[in-house]
Structure 1
Amino acid sequence: MTRSEDESTAMSSTPAGRQTDDARSREHHDDQAPRAAGVPRLLVDGTIHSTAEPYAEAMLVQDGLISWIGAPESAEHVIRGDHERQELDRGLVAPAFVGRVDSDLRALNASAVATLLDEAAAHGQGALRLVLDVTTASLEGDPGTRTRLVEVLKAAYWHPVVAFPVVRLTGLAADVPTSDGGAGQEGLPGPAQKIQRLIALVEHCDDAAGAPVGIELSLGEISGGVLPAGSAVSPETHEHIVDHLVEVSAPLAEASRQMLLDVAGHAPDAVAAVVVDTRRRLQERRTTPRPDRPTVLVDFDSARRADWEALVGTAHHVLMRAPGHLGLALSAGIPTSVAPGADVDPWAMVATHVHRSEAAVSVRAAFNAQTRAAHRSLPAPDGLGPGTAGLAAQLAPGAVATYTVWEVESLAVQTPDARTAAWSTDARARTPLLPFLGTAAEPAALPRLRATVVSGVEVHGTADARHSGAQDS
C-alpha cells in the first residue's frame, strides 16, 4: 500500500526544536536582534501559511510563541495592551526552511561559523544540520582538533539559528570485522572498539553543542569502495559490509546518537540490500536506533520504485542534497527530506522538484520536504519522542514562532507539470497557499525573502520587512 506525496509528509510529528536551547539563545541575543521577542507583535495584511487556519491573514507572536492566527478584524479581541503592528503588504508568512551546511572543521572558528549561520538565515533557514568534517586520526590524536571542535560547537549553540551538529568522520578504516566486534587484522582494533572510542571523544563535546552530536559516516569507507549494482556484489562482500555496518551502527544506537550514512554514488539496489540486512541484524541484537533519532541515508536516490519500496520497514529516513526522485520516495512512504547546498535558493529546489519530467511533486510536497519532513529527520531532544506535539515546522497557536516572510507575485495550490499543470486558488479546498512557481517552460519569479524569525527574534531582515509601529490597544 502506498501513500500519496502529501500524505507521506503528514506522518506522526517528531519535535525537532530545542525549545530550552531556543530560550537560552533568545536570552543571549535579545540585546543584539533587530526586533526582539519581548513585545507582542501582530502581523497583518498578508497570507499566513497555516494548516490550522488556511485562510488566516494575521498572526500574533508573543514570548517567542505563536499565540493566535486568524482574520485581522478578530485581532482586537485577542490582544491586550501595547504591541507592535507589522504590515505584511500582502507578503507570505511561512515556516522557515531547514538546511544543511558542510564544512571542514579546520576552516572554521567561532566567527566563521557565525557567518555560516547568518548566511543560512539570509536563505530563510531557521534551523540546519551543521556537518563538520573531522578525520578520526586528528580527533583521536590532536588535542587542538578537539579544542577547535568545542569552540565551533559553542558558537553554533549560541547563534539564534538552531544548529544540529554532526561530526562527519573520515578515515574510519574498513578493517575486517569479527562477529563480536573484536580485533581486526594485524592487531588493529575492530570497528566496534574504534567507534566506541570516537563516540567517547565526541561525547565530551555534547555540553558545548547543547545536545548529542550526530555522527556521519561514508558507506564508501565502510565498504572499501563504490558498490556496483546489487547483482554484481558477491554474497561474501555483501556480508562483509553488513558485518562492518552493524558493528559501527550498534554502538551509536546504544549511545542514543543519531547516525547519518552517506551513500552518494553507490548503486541504490545494493545500498537497499545492505540497509535491510543491517536493520535485521540490529533487531536481532535489540540495538536499533531510537525512533526519534532515526538513521538518515544521505543522497540515496533511485529511478526504480522497487529500490524505494525495499526501504519500507527499515525506519530509515532519506536526505537529498540535490534534485532527486522525490515523488517516488514519497509515494512509497519513505520519510524523505531535502536540504540544498548553501549557495542554492530553497525555492529554486522546490521549483526543480515541481518541474521535473518524472517523479514530479506538488509545490506543497516539495516545500514540506524542506520544512516538516526535514524537522522529523532531526534528532529529538532528550525527554521528547515520537508522537509528542512538536510544532517546529507549523504555524499554529502554541508553536514556536520560527517563520519567514516572503514577497511573492502570486499564490496558488499548484500541482506538478507532469500531471495536469493545473493550479487553483479555490478556498473550498482548505489547502494553505504557496507561491505559484510557473511551469518548466515558463518559470515564475522566485519569492524574495524579507525576514527570517527564530523563536520570535528577527535574525535576518530587510527594510521592507519593517513596516511596523507601536500600537496601544
Structure 2
Amino acid sequence: MTERTAPQSEHRTVLLRGGEVHSPADPFATAMVVERGHVAWVGSEGAADAFASGVDEVIDLEGALVTPAFTDAHVHTTSTGLALTGLDLSRAASLTQALRLVREHSAARPADQVLLGHGWDATRWPEQRPPHRAELDEAAGGRPLYLPRVDVHSAVVTTALLDLVPGATGLTGYHPDAPLTGAAHHAVRAAAHAAVTPAQRTAAQRAALAHAASLGIGTVHECAGPEISDEDDFTSLLALAAAQPGPRVVGYWAEQVADEKDATRIRELGAAGAAGDLFVDGSLGSHTACLHAPYTDAPGTSGTAHLDAAAVAAHVAACTEAGLQAGFHAIGDAALSAVVDGVRAAAEQVGLARVRAARHRIEHAEMLTPETIAAFAEFGLTASVQPAFDAAWGGDDGMYAQRLGADRARTLNPYAALLRAGVPLAFGSDSPVTPLDPWGTVRAAAFHRTPEHRISARAAFTAHTRGGWRAVGRDDAGVLVPGAPADYAVWRTEELVVQAPDDRVARWSTDPRSGTPGLPDLSPGKELPVCLRTVVAGQTVFAGPNG
C-alpha cells in the first residue's frame, strides 16, 4: 500500500481507496472514509474522488482487501505471551522431543527462575503418555517447572515446584506420578504464576497483544479469574491496554456473585461481567469434562463437576438482578445440562425477559444436544466457541474419538444446529490452548471435520467479527458501515468468492445475489490472507512491511 499524508492532527480523516471493502452497506465498495475513529462513508472508487482533497491521509490499497477487525472472544493474554516468549511444547512430536526442549529451555534461563511451559499433548505422541516426574526433574536440572497440558486443565510439574507448595500432596487431584488436576493443579499453578515478576508479566502481555494485532485482531476478550490468574494480572492488563495503542481488551472475571456487593466488586476490577472461565467442569483431554456417561478410554470416570444447577441458578439470578453479564465454562454434556437447568431456574426467579436481555454467555459448549441447544435459544445464551478445537482434536481418529468413541465425538461442536436454532455465536481461540489464528478459525468452522456441523464462511466470519461485539452487548460494531467504530484490517489475499447455499463457490463479482460481499477462498490448501495493517478506533496498531 502507498500513502499520501497531511500533517498530523488530533482527529484524522483517512481515505482508503483502490481495494475491496467488505461492507454490507455496499457489496461492491472499493473505498472507505474514516473520521474521528469511526467509519464515515463506504462506496465506489469514482465517488471517492469527492473526498480526496479534503482528507488528512489517502491510502492506496493497491487491490488489498479491507474487512472489520477480528474479535477473539476467549483469550488468556498473559499465558499467551508467556507461551510466545517461553517454552512452547505444542509442536513437540514426541515425549523425547519434549524433554529435549525442556533441557534446552532450562539451560538458557537464569538458575533462580521458575520455569514455565505450555502446550504438551500426549495423545499426539507415539509414547502416548506424559512425562514422569523423574524425567522432568532430570530435564529441568532439579529446578521448579510448571507444564500444563494443552487444555490447561492438568499439568505435570517437577519435585522442586511441589516443594514450593506445602500440603500439595494432600490436595484433591494430586497424583504421585501423573498429571495433577483439581485443587492440586490450582495450587501449583498459583505458585508458578506468583514467580512471574511484574516486568515478565508486562512483557508477556505486550507480546500477546502485539501478536494479536499482527493477525488483524482488534479486540480480545480476556477470560480471567481467581482459579486462572490473579487480580493484579487482570487489572494490569486492562491498564496496559488502555494506556497504549493496540487491540481493545474486554475483561471477564470468573467469580461467583451472590449479591449486589459482589457485583460491585466485579465492576470495580474493570470487568464486563462475572463470566468466562467460571468452571462448571474441566476438559475432555484431561478427563475432567463432566459427562452423563463415562469416558470410553477411562470407563471408571465421568469427569468432574465444579458447579451444580443450584449454583448456576444463584449466580445467574444475582448477576441478572445486578445488571451484570454472567457466564460459565461448560464442555461436557452433563455440565451443559447443569447450566441450562440452572439458567431455567434463574429465569423462573427473575423473569425470562430479563435473563435474555442480559446476554449471558457459555464458553466452549462442546457436547450439546438438541435439548440444550433449544435451551440456549430460549434463554438468549451466547455460545462462545472455538472451532480450532475441532480442527485439532476432531475426526474419527482424533482425541475426541479416543476419549468418547467415534459416535459421541461426531456430536461435538454443532455450529450449524446452533445457527439454525438462532443461538448467537462468538468465535475465539482460548489461546494459548489453540493459537491466535482468525482466518484459520473461520476455515475450521466452514470445513468442520463433521460435515453436518459446517457453516458458511460468511457466517463463520460474522461470528468472529460482529459476534464478539454482540457477545458484550454491542450491536453497532464489527461491521464496516457508516457510524461504526473504525476497527478494520487490511489484507493481501487472492480472489474473493461467495459461498453459495449448495457449497459451490462463485466469483463474487458475478454473484447473482449481488448483495453479499465476498471473502477469501478458505478451502483447505489455499493460502490464508496476510495482514498488512490493523486499525482500532481509527488508530493504526499494526503495520507490516507492506502496510
Give the structure-1-normalised TM-score: 0.71
Q: Match of 1:168?
A: 254
Q: Contact 2:222–2:251 at 8 Å: present in 1 too? A: yes
The residue identity in structure 2 corresponding to 1:309 is A
Q: Are 1:220 and 2:281 counterparts? A: yes
Q: CA deviation at 1:294?
A: 1.6
2:469 to 375, 378, 381: 375
Using the alignment, how far apart are the partners of 2:308 and 2:439 within structure 1?
A: 38
1:339 aligned onto 2:428:
yes
Distance 1:250 1:364 in 2: 35
The farther-off stretch of 79-88 and 324-333 is 79-88
Using CA pairs below 8 Å that are at least 6 residues apart, which structure has the higher relative contact order?
Answer: 1
State the match for 2:217 in structure 1.
Answer: 125
Per-residue CA deviations over 1:337-364 (Å, capped at 9, x if unaligned) read 2112442421111112222333212110
Distance 1:37 1:457 in 2: 11
Q: How far apart are the structure 2 equivalents of 1:78 and 1:247?
A: 55
What is the distance in 2 between the residues matched to 1:83 and 1:66? 15
218 and 341 in structure 1: CA distance in 2 versus 1, 3 angstrom threshold: closer
Deviations 1:91-118 (A, max 9, x none): 1100111013214675564443233222
Q: Secondary structure at the match of 2:226?
A: strand
User: 2 CA distance for matches of 1:79 and 1:291?
Assistant: 46
Query: By how many angstroms is 1:271 displaced?
Result: 4.2
TM-superposed deviation, 1:254? 2.5
Q: How far does residue 37 in structure 1 lie from its aligned partner after superposition? A: 6.8
Which residue is equivalent to 1:51?
24
Q: 2:462 & 2:9 partners in 1: Cα distance?
A: 28
Q: Which residue of 2 aligns with 1:325?
A: 414
Letter in 1 for 2:266: V
Aligned partner of 2:363 among 298, 313, 333: 298
Alignment-mate amino acid for residue 358 of structure 1: E
What corresponds to 2:141 in structure 1? none
C-alpha distance in structure 1 between counterparts of 2:485 and 2:530, whole Å = 23
Aligned to 2:150: none
Instruction: Determine whether 1:134 maps to 2:218.
Output: no
Residue 251 to residue 213, structure 1, CA distance change in 2 (3 Å): closer
Distance 1:446 1:149, change over 3 A: closer
2:41 equivalent to 1:62? no
Q: Which runs of 4+ in 1 moved over 6 A?
A: none
In structure 1, the gaps of 5 or more residues are: 1-34, 139-144, 173-190, 381-389, 466-473
Which secondary structure state, in structure 1, belongs to the residue aligned with residue 278 of structure 2? Answer: strand
Task: Write out per-residue CA displacement over residues 400-431 of structure 1, whole angstroms, 9 at most, x where no aligned residue.
Answer: 11100010111000248xx4443342243221
Aligned partner of 2:339 among 253, 260, 275? 275
How far residue 259 of structure 1 moved from its aligned partner, in angstroms, is: 1.8
Distance 2:321 2:328 in 1: 17
- Would the alpha carbon gap of residues 327 and 81 (structure 1) be closer, same or farther in structure 2, given more than 3 Å must change? same
Does residue 311 of structure 2 align to residue 244 of structure 1? yes
Match of 1:311 in 2: 376
1-structure distance, mates of 2:9, 2:219? 18
Residue in 2 aligned with 1:470?
Answer: none
> Are 2:545 and 1:463 equivalent residues in the alignment?
yes
Within 2, Cα distance between the matches of 1:421 and 1:428? 13
Tell me the TM-score normalised to structure 2 length. Answer: 0.62
1:422 matched residue in structure 2 = 505
Give unpaired runs (5+ residues) of structure 2: 1-7, 80-192, 283-287, 296-303, 391-412
Distance 1:53 1:259, change over 3 A: same
Residue 448 of structure 1 corresponds to which residue in structure 2?
530
What is the SS of the residue equivalent to 1:116? Answer: helix
Q: Is the 8 A contact 2:313 2:346 kept in 1?
A: yes
Q: Distance between the aligned counterparts of 1:436 and 1:374, measured in 2?
A: 22
| Counterpart Cα distance in 2 of 1:74 and 1:212 | 43
Identical positions, percent: 25
Aligned-residue CA RMSD (Å): 3.2
Q: Which of 101, 106, 126 is the matching residue for 2:75?
A: 101
Matches of 1:131 and 1:399, distance apart in 2 = 25
Cα separation, 1, equivalents of 2:375 and 2:225: 30
What is the Cα deviation at residue 155 of structure 1?
1.5
**Which residue pairs with 2:292 in the alignment?**
229
1:305–1:332 Cα contact (<8 Å) kept? no
The CA deviation string for residues 260-288 of structure 1, in whole angstroms up to 9 with x for no partner, is 21012x12xx3454333323322232166
**Equivalent in 402, 405, 414 of residue 490 of structure 2:** 405
Q: CA deviation at 1:147?
A: 4.7
Shift of the 305–242 alpha-carbon distance from structure 1 to 2, 3 Å rule, reads: closer
Q: Offset of 1:200 from its aligned partner?
A: 4.9
CA contact (8 A) 2:355 2:380 kept: no
Which residue in 2 is equivalent to 1:435? 520
